[in-house]
Amino acid sequence: MSKPIQPVNYSLEKIFSGAQDFLPLLGTDYVEFYVGNAKQAAHFYKTAFGFQSHAYRGLETGAKDAVSYVLTQDKIKIMLTTPLNSKSPINNHIVKHGDGVKIVALWVEDATKSYEETTKRGAKSYMKPTVEKDEFGEVVRSGIYTYGETVHMFIERKNYKGAFLPGFQKWESDYNPPTAGLKYIDHMVGNVGWNQMNKWVKFYEDVMGFVNFLSFDDKQIHTEYSALMSKVMSNGNGRIKFPINEPAEGKKRSQIEEYLDFYEGPGVQHIAMATDDIIKTVAQLKANGIEFLSTPPEEYYRAVPGRLEEHSHELKEDIEKLKSLGIMIDADEEGYLLQIFTKPLEDRPTLFFEIIQRMGARGFGAGNFKALFESIEREQAKRGTL
């Protein structure tokens, strides 16, 4: 591999000066997955990824139509939800998309104002501001649609002291596997259809006040066979980063088209979770049975010192160790980063996780795109979907 690709339009200053403050976001609150069997999925995310039991809602707590398990790991909260009967609208989502992300919830000071400001700017309503109460206080939630059937919920929890949300009880489990060192959600990527990327860039700019601080075109992101385009959207304080991908013309079918075919529409492609010690985290996840995309070829690792340029002396990790685990390395002006991608987490080739360790770099591994996509294409070829 040659030098890292220089992303166009890279400007952190632009984030802070260009973003608007009508929608101040404190961070990601939780990510809710609609799944076919939440009990089994919860066991998987605990056992394999080191998530901890946190909160529960189901028949035992008085819920009649759906059950939800909330799992945490440091700042990350995921919720797994399954309908309890055939009448729940959640079924339609699962029939169409398979298991996947329904809600990316954002933590806000004022969920009513967040709803008003975004719907006023054109957002489609999912849920009007709703106050939910229990003995621990109250939470205000509201929601708007983003791409496909994916939703952003705004969560105002400043007057709440309970474990999670009203209606949930603390989930005390006797089964508590060790954490895997996952700390927070670094970014979440959405796949949208042909020629839809700029529409959703505009949505995040106009409706959410985000700015586009990085762009990659199909000349930068391509292999011999396929191509895609990507623009990274960030909110004003830089805590929320949503890259948006769309497919581009290539000789064969790109991974984005494969996703759109199997998810049957736009949706969340991957969630990147940060760790402070990627070698330890990935070794543990592998021991737990998580499958990652195949290791880049030998020449990729031989080229690492050259690709890191002035950052090569900063590399604290042993390249042989990174190679043995298949961890990829990239650098930008500010430092380097280490990353690796799981295979899809469900039978449909849709959602996957990225594990990332940032050592100063603020990019997304553009220098790894080619090696990564070639690895994905090897998997696509096995599935007959390339």
Q: Which residues bind Fe ion (CB under 5 A)?
A: 272, 354
* Identity of the residue, 272 or 338, whose beta carbon is nearer to Fe ion in the bound complex: 272
Rank residues 68 and 269 by Cβ distance to Fe ion and give the closer one.
Answer: 269
Closer residue to Fe ion in complex, CB, 354/379: 354
Provide the minimum distance between the beta carbon of 316 and Fe ion in the complex, in angstroms, as a whole number: 22
Q: Which is nearer to Fe ion, 272 or 328 (CB)?
A: 272
Cβ proximity to Fe ion, 32 vs 330, nearer residue: 330
Least separation in angstroms between residue 337's CB and Fe ion is 10
**Minimum distance from residue 285 beta carbon to Fe ion (Å):** 16
Closest separation in Å from C-beta 270 to Fe ion: 6
DSSP string, 328-349: EEEEETTEEEEEEEBPPSSSSS
Q: Output DSSP code: residue 208.
A: T
Amino acid, res. 355: I
Using CA atoms, how far apart are residues 44 and 100, in angstroms rounded to an integer?
15
Q: How far is the CB of 331 from Fe ion (least distance, A)?
A: 16
CB 203 within 8 A of CB 169: no
CB of 15 to Fe ion, least distance (A): 18
Nearer to Fe ion, 32 or 354 (CB): 354
Task: Scan for tokens 């499958």, then name that residue.
Answer: 291
* Rounded-to-integer distance, Cα 232 and Cα 214, Å: 5
Environment class of 317 (CB within 10 Å of its CB; exposed 0-12, middle 13-18, buried 19+):
middle
On whether the CB atoms of residues 128 and 115 are closer than 8 A, the answer is yes
Give dist(CA 152, CA 284) in Å, integer.
Answer: 32
CB of 354 to Fe ion, least distance (A): 4
The H-assigned helical ranges of the chain are 12-18, 38-49, 90-97, 111-120, 197-206, 255-263, 278-287, 298-302, 304-308, 319-325, 369-383
Around Cβ 333, how many Cβ atoms within 10 Å? 14
The DSSP symbol for 259 reads: H
Closest CB to Fe ion among residues 52, 357: 357
d(CA 8, CA 198): 16
Distance CA 33, CA 274 (A): 19
Minimum distance from residue 239 beta carbon to Fe ion (Å): 16
- Closer residue to Fe ion in complex, CB, 272/304: 272
